[in-house]
């Protein structure tokens, strides 16, 4: 079997200081990658996270934190440039940063809309563009991984703009994969279901909601961030070299089970 190692690979992970992004950084670093995560709000937390991870296992890859706001195109470009400045190259770009407001269509304000779309979709679009330009300039293959959601397909009443942004990300994955395949660039979507992360703090703090979700999930439990991070590390590796233009759903069976309701 082709190796799942990421030794020598350089990876950017947006929104990588917390939640699923932090787990992706951890799995990738354990697989040998040098990872750069961006942070916006909490530089201390990001630095501490990178420090902890590097202390934890020095034989593997590394994690560094970089100040970038993915809703700004120049910042996304700077994140790619930082990988090149530090390590001379970029191999994998993970569009992970995402927020949700949990508002329905009727409740959504213009500022809700702009905030969610600029981080979840505009950030991902220009992240893919900056990464692809770098891969092409290097003359090497590259991988772009878009962390979407089961809600790229599955409506979530009361979370309208979030679902819209993830539906857009689904098409971003497919369109860009078709545009860039011949250049040796793979583009893969990952659609987690319910995961124990800061985006779900309210749900996870409510035992009734947790029990209902666990009941609805065929594998019986909300995912840990690591269960998503490990899949992303695999998808970034050469062992997934024929996988592109599609979304890998990592939801414990939740979406399929919902079809049977
Ligand atoms: C959303 C969560 C939700 C989960 C499952 C995720 O994309 O961010 O709020 O619990 O999907 O529905």
pLDDT at 188: 99
Quote the CA–CA distance of 156 and 150 in Å, as a whole number: 9
Instruction: Indicate which atom in ligand 1 lies nearest the CA of residue 156.
Output: 12
pLDDT at 137: 98
CA torsion angle for 209, 213, 215, 217 (degrees, to 10)? -170
Distance 137 CA to ligand 1 centre (A): 37
Quote the CA–CA distance of 60 and 32 in Å, as a whole number: 5
Domain 10-254 CATH class label: alpha beta
13 phi/psi in degrees, rounded to 5:
-125, 115
Distance 194 CA to ligand 1 centre (A): 5
Is 162 an annotated catalytic residue? yes
Q: Is the CB of 151 under 6 A from ligand 1?
A: yes
Instruction: Indicate which atom in ligand 1 lies nearest the CA of residue 154.
Output: 12
pLDDT digits (tens, 9 = 90+) for 82-116: 999 999 999 999 999 999 999 999 999 999 999 99
Percent of the chain with pLDDT over 90: 86
pLDDT band at 261 (very low <50, low <70, confident <90, very high): low
pLDDT digits (tens, 9 = 90+) for 8-36: 999 999 999 889 999 999 999 999 999 99
Whole-number mean pLDDT of the chain? 94
Quote the CA–CA distance of 25 and 28 in Å, as a whole number: 5
SS3 185: strand
Distance 155 CA to ligand 1 centre (A): 11
Quote the CA–CA distance of 93 and 151 in Å, as a whole number: 22
84 phi/psi in degrees, rounded to 5:
-70, -40
Average pLDDT estimate for 216-222 = 97
Q: Is the CB of 258 under 6 A from ligand 1?
A: no
Q: Is the CB of 142 under 6 A from ligand 1?
A: no
pLDDT at 58: 54
| Residue to mutate (ligand 1; options 116, 149, 153, 212; most atoms within 8 A of CB) | 149
Percent of the chain with pLDDT over 70: 95
For every residue of 96-143, DSSP letters joined together read ---------TTT--HHHHHHHHIIIIIHHHHHHHHHHHHHHHHTS-EE
Quote the CA–CA distance of 245 and 176 in Å, as a whole number: 8
| Residue to mutate (ligand 1; options 19, 97, 101, 156; most atoms within 8 A of CB) | 156
Average the pLDDT over each of 125-129, 169-173, 256-260 and give the range with the smallest value. Answer: 256-260
Quote the CA–CA distance of 30 and 7 in Å, as a whole number: 9
Which of 197, 199, 192, 238 has the alpha carbon at shortest distance from 217?
Answer: 192
- Whole-structure pTM over 0.85, yes or no? yes
Kindly state the tokens that stand for 59: 């034989």
Residue 199 confidence (pLDDT) above 80: yes
Q: Is the CB of 200 under 6 A from ligand 1?
A: yes
Quote the CA–CA distance of 123 and 134 in Å, as a whole number: 16
Average pLDDT estimate for 139-168 = 98
């Amino acid at each position: 079997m082709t190796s799942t190692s990421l030794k020598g690979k350089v990876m950017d992970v947006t929104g990588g200081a917390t939640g699923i992004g932090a787990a992706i950084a951890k799995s990738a670093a354990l697989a040998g990658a040098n990872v750069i995560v961006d942070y916006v709000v909490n530089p201390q937390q990001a630095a501490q996270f990178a420090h902890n991870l590097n202390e934890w296992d020095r034989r593997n890859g590394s994690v560094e934190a970089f100040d970038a706001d993915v809703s700004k195109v120049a910042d996304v470009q700077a994140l790619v440039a930082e990988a090149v400045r530090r390590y001379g190259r970029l191999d994998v770009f993970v569009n992970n940063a995402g927020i949700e407001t949990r508002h329905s269509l009727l409740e959504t304000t213009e500022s809700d809309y702009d905030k969610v779309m600029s981080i979840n979709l505009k950030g991902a679009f220009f992240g893919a563009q900056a990464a692809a330009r770098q891969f092409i300039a290097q003359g090497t293959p590259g991988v772009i991984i878009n962390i979407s959601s089961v809600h790229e397909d599955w409506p979530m009443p009361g979370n309208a703009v979030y679902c819209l942004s993830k539906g857009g990300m689904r098409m971003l994955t497919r369109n860009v994969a078709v545009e860039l395949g011949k250049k040796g660039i793979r583009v893969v979507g990952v659609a987690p279901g319910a995961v124990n992360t800061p985006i779900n703090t309210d749900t996870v703090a409510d035992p009734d909601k947790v029990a209902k979700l666990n009941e609805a999930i065929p594998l019986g439990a909300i995912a840990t961030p690591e269960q998503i991070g490990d899949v992303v590390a695999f998808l970034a590796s050469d062992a997934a070299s024929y996988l592109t233009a599609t979304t890998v759903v990592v939801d414990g069976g939740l979406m399929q089970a919902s079809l049977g309701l």
